[in-house]
A and B are shown apart, each in its own frame.
Chain A
Amino acid sequence: MRRVRVVIFLKPGVLDAQGQAVAEGLRTLGFAVEEVRVGKAIELTVPDDAQVPEMCSRFLANPLIEEWEIHGA
């Protein structure tokens, strides 16, 4: 079995409303922050990681709005 981690973010240039809200929270706490982008991580345990790219492009991410990185493959 292989453990693979997929990290997904909205594409650069696509407004990340959640990231903006988190940035505002950090600023309220007094932290200096220019920009925050919030993504998600998905951990997969698979017999074979050859299909992970297709899992990402067909289902785990939406290529119209998101980009992704596959780690541990």
Chain B
Amino acid sequence: MRDVRFAVLTFPGSNCDRDCAWVLEHVVGVRTELLWHADVDLRGFDAAVLPGGFSYGDYLRAGAIAATSPALRAVRAFAAGGGLVVGICNGFQILLESGLLPGAMLPNAGGTFRCTWVEVRVERADTPFTNQYRSGQVLRMPIAHGEGRYHADPVTLRRLEAERRVLFRYVHNPNGSAHDIAGILNEGGNVLGLMPHPERCAEAILGSEDGRLLFASMVHWILTPREVARCTF
């Protein structure tokens, strides 16, 4: 079996980068490197993770300043070449602010930071990120965010639904997110953003292992011959 290589990007204020690297290295068992955002070179990597945290203190808007980092130029090129990219929580916010995913995040409707366990439904299992789950499977995952209310104009929302790009949906909406959206895909199906933290629920000792299969799905997709595993949209 060939080496699968994951990159985890660290921005100033990222705080889930080491958790992601731990899970990838020691639970999923793939080669993983932490890359400082100012000198990101993704050549030779199979996948890139934009971790959670509070990049640049969430100043201006969550993810807005990190989106100007040279790392995002590298991520954009990497994604354009078909590389797998997953942005978790603040990483999702960065992907939205950089335009790699459509829409924007607003402060939670309730006005409070939400740090809690939620149930999240897997909407489809034929993607690089969910092929080890069952379609309709409900996962137990933690969220921890102040700005997680997904917002997009009605045309964009209709398009996301029509193209089945809503990959994860909250069973009980914790933040006022449009269409109960917890995670979406880009047009190519190789860039995912999600608010729940799969890296915080990848080992039984943490109360849930449901997040592990997201990373395992990515590894499975990377190792499967492309004509079989290619995303169908």
Contact = CB atoms under 8 A, between A and B. Distances in A.
Interface of A: 10, 14-15, 17-18, 20-21, 59-60, 62, 64-65
Interface of B: 60-61, 64, 68, 97, 103-104, 106-111, 149, 151-153, 176
B151 A64 contact: yes
B64 A17 contact: no
A17 B151 contact: no
Contacts, number: 33
15 contacts: A15-B109, A15-B149, A15-B176, A18-B107, A18-B111, A20-B111, A59-B60, A59-B64, A60-B60, A62-B61, A62-B104, A64-B103, A64-B151, A64-B153, A65-B104
A15 B150 CA distance: 12
9 A-B pairs with the lowest CB-CB distances in the bound complex, closest first: A17-B111, A64-B104, A65-B104, A21-B111, A17-B107, A62-B104, A65-B151, A15-B109, A17-B109
Contact of A14 (B60, B97, B106, B110): B106
Contact of B151 (A14, A20, A60): A14
A49 to B, nearest CB: 20
